[in-house]
Structure 1
Amino acid sequence: MFGLPGFLCTIDQKGEANNVILEDSNPQNSGASINIYGPKGLRRFLRLALALSRANLSYTYAVHELILEEKHCPPNWQDWACLEADITRDPPLFCERSGRDIFANSDGFWYNITNNEENCEMVHAMSIKHTIPSVGWLIIKPDQSPSLCVETAIKLGVPKGRLMGELKRGNTIVIDGKTVRPEDVLKPRLRGHRIAIMGDTYDSSELLRLMQVLHTANQITSITLDTLVHEATLDDSLYEDALSKGHSVPSVVMKLACQLNVRQLVLTHFSHRYDRIDSSDENTIKNKIGEQAIYSNKSKSDKKNKPSLQIILDQAKSTDFSGDIILADDQLLVKIPPVTQ
């Protein structure tokens, strides 16, 4: 949250604004170059941060807020600050466009928050448990178009070129009096990627409930996640301490990952009491996950006898979880595993 204003300014400073500027620069245009989604209060925070820092963005943005209900908040929760911007004192910025207020469904979930059409990427949100209101995100990519099995097509007498393209587009063709249908040569359609990103939490079981709801409604074919990004702030020996601060330990995360059939788990939000794993250990981890992690080059910090993140990694690996485990790091790039079935 604190890095968001600076990130938006960096887009300008790095010369990336040309990729997001709207062709129509009319201030009355309700569209926006960048759309930002988050809990109630984010709109005011970003407006004030940009206004007080005299930020002069060359593109437009809009903040769409998830409206929190009592069931989304911790027990006895009371807002300590006004979350609604006072337009008489803090009017919208010239680069700001009107955002939507997004209300939860009766089951507590925010569905399709980006308002995409059917068969497009869907983003759903859920409330997760923390000491303050916190949100998790589920991204569901559309099914992939079925690919053509070229070998089968050739065996059926289909020449390479235009006719294969017709079959791939779902059209039936006739060759030398023989009919070849798309289903004869197309491979099974593969589902799109499913990625979940959780905020600060000690209990994100609402993600499992959301997946179950989507599965029951036939919106997903199975309860499976390709990638889950989840915090593991402290190790299991400090469970009570983590719980009191609203954070997770490896055993809690791994149980959820097993229930969700997660293929790749990215652990993050580690306490500063742990040092990074030595580079030699990092290389071992990289090899085990197929060179898909690219670590930034950082100088080693003074360890001061602190335990390393190896303890969290070891605890995560000691469970029944069979997927890949990655420890997040600044500037780490993670490749989402391909869907094969």
Structure 2
Amino acid sequence: MLLVTFLGTGGSLPTKNRNPSAIMVNRDGELIMFDCGEGAQQQMMRAKTGMMNLSSIFITHFHADHILGIPGLVQTMSFQGRTEPLTIYGPEWVEEFVKLLSALGYYKLKFEIRAAKMERGDVVRMDGYSVVALQTQHNVRSIGYALVEDPRPGRFDRKKAVELGVPVGPLFSKLHKGEDVEVDGRTIRSEDVVGESRPGRTIIYTGDTRPCKDVLEASENADLLIHDGTLADEKLEWAKEAMHSTAGEAAALARKAGVKKLVLTHISSRYSDDVTPLMNDAKAIFEDVIIAEDLMSIEVPFRDE
């Protein structure tokens, strides 16, 4: 399972329908977050994502609308008995942020919060996937992230394995994992019964940014691109000044990169009642696009082979 839940999809100002930026990713039960805006923990409760299995929070930048949910979240997890450490990744100033967070209020947390500074190209290895830092372009120091799964084993040819004399059972699993096995004194090679490796899935999350080279390159053939889509194209000059992207610009990047699906988020409050301008701008360039809504979830499937 690779499930993305949008806890907050609003721009700098929250609205009655949109919380500030926060995205939860559930990969086979492990939870990680990208940004954690105000009210994120209540959104987790509404979406029933859980929070105690949260291993990491990846911050794109330190504007308030991307971090103010963290103090309440960590205190709630501490009240609920969490003891496992939590790692907060982010660009420059993440160490100072964690120090301030740990000193906030009179309540002493029952678990450790670790800070990990990330710069362009840094890689965090997880169980079966990596998170890679991308250089983005905003009006403060910022980074985006690529979640890249490890390649999957190729398809196992059960019929051929039986023909080669491999008994049904544990040896099948060893062969599929890439191990050679012995059968009646003969070596059966994994490559004889397992096809070429298959790609894992890739999710790109930009945070707040102008369209940029790093995001474009990382998004090539990505399964899901979650891109800043703050403004409609008619507000292009405003987007440039504020260092955000328009819906059309994000769609153009998605098309050039050949992504499978585009989700626009960080939606300006001026579109609180009608996101049609954003959708029209994006759809004119890239067909498979969604405007993110709070509490919306998307399951990212493996590509057809």
Q: Scaled by the length of structure 2, what TM-score is found?
A: 0.68
Letter aligned with residue 255 of structure 1: A
- Superposed CA deviations along residues 71-117 of structure 1, whole A, max 9, x for unmatched, are xxxxxxxxxxxxxxxxxxxxxxxxxxxxxxxxx5xxxx3322x3x39
User: How far apart are the structure 2 equivalents of 1:56 and 1:123?
Assistant: 30
Q: CA deviation at 1:233?
A: 0.7
Q: 286, 298, 315: which one pairs with 2:281?
A: 315
Choose from 244, 247, 266 the match for 2:244: 247
The answer for the alignment partner of 1:269 in structure 2 is: 266
Q: How does 1:56-71 map to 2 (within 5 A)?
A: 56-66=108-118
User: Which has the bigger relative contact order, CA under 8 A and spacing at least 6?
Assistant: 2
Task: Select the residue among 73, 78, 81 that pairs with 1:7.
Answer: 73
Instruction: Return the offset for 1:145.
Output: 2.6
Residue aligning to 2:289: 325
SS in 1 for 2:269: coil
Match of 2:121 in 1: 110
Shift of 1:36: 0.9
* Residues 1:163 and 1:44: Cα distance change in structure 2 (over 3 Å): closer
Deviations along 1:223-263, whole A, 9 cap, x unmatched? 32111111101111221222222211111111211222211
Letter in 2 for 1:53: G
For residues 240 and 274 of structure 1, what CA distance do their matches in structure 2 show?
17
Distance 2:248 2:239 in 1: 12
Query: Secondary structure in 2 aligned to 1:64?
Result: strand
Map of 1:40 onto structure 2: 92
| 1:38 Cα offset (Å) | 0.8
- Residue ranges of structure 1 left out of the alignment (5+ in a row): 23-32, 67-103, 213-222, 276-305
Structure 2 Cα separation of the partners of residues 181 and 48 of structure 1? 56
8 Å contact kept, 1:200–1:231: yes
How far the C-alpha of 1:151 sits from its partner, in A, is 4.1
Determine the structure 2 residue equivalent to 1:145.
153
Q: Given the superposition, is the C-alpha separation of residues 167 and 47 from structure 1 closer, same or farther in structure 2, using an over 3 Å criterion? A: closer
Superposed CA deviations along residues 287-311 of structure 1, whole A, max 9, x for unmatched, are xxxxxxxxxxxxxxxxxxx4x1133
- Where 1:262 maps in the other structure, the secondary structure is coil
Counterpart AA for 1:133: R
Alignment of 1:175-186 (within 5 A): 180-186=188-194
Post-superposition offset of 1:268 = 0.4
Q: Distance in 2 between matches of 1:313 and 1:171?
A: 52
What is the CA–CA distance in structure 2 between the aligned matches of 1:16 and 1:336, rounded to whole Å?
32
**Identical-residue share of aligned pairs (%):** 29
Asked if the contact 2:231–2:245 (Cα under 8 Å) also holds between the matched residues in 1, the reply is yes
Q: Residue 79 of structure 1 aligns with which residue?
A: none
SS of residue matched to 2:122: coil
Give the corresponding residue for 1:197: 205
Give the structure 2 partner of residue 126 of structure 1: 134
Q: 1:208 to 1:172 in 2, by over 3 A?
A: same
CA distance in 2, matches of 1:227, 1:265: 6
Q: Residues 5 and 46 of structure 1 are in contact (CA less than 8 Å); yes or no, is this contact kept in structure 2?
A: no
Q: TM-score, length-normalised on structure 1?
A: 0.62
**Higher strand share goes to which structure?**
2
> Which residue matches 1:55?
107
Work out the CA distance in 2 between the residues paired with 1:166 and 1:203.
45
Matched, 1:257 2:266: no
Q: Which has the larger radius of gyration?
A: 1
Give the 3 Å change call, closer, same or farther, for CA 42–164 of structure 1 in structure 2. closer
Deviation, 1:10, is: 2.3
- Pair 1:335-2:291 in alignment: no
**Any idea what SS the aligned residue of 2:132 has?**
strand
**1:111 is matched by which residue type in structure 2?**
D
User: Which residue pairs with 1:27 in the alignment?
Assistant: none
Which residue number in structure 2 is paired with residue 226 of structure 1? 223
Any conservation in 2 of the 1:190–1:340 contact (CA below 8 Å)? no
Q: Is the 8 A contact 2:137 2:209 kept in 1?
A: yes
Aligned letter for 1:65?
Answer: K
- Alignment map for 1:67-86 (pairs within 5 Å): none
> Are the counterparts in 2 of residues 190 and 339 from structure 1 also a CA contact under 8 Å?
no
Q: Secondary structure at the match of 2:270?
A: coil
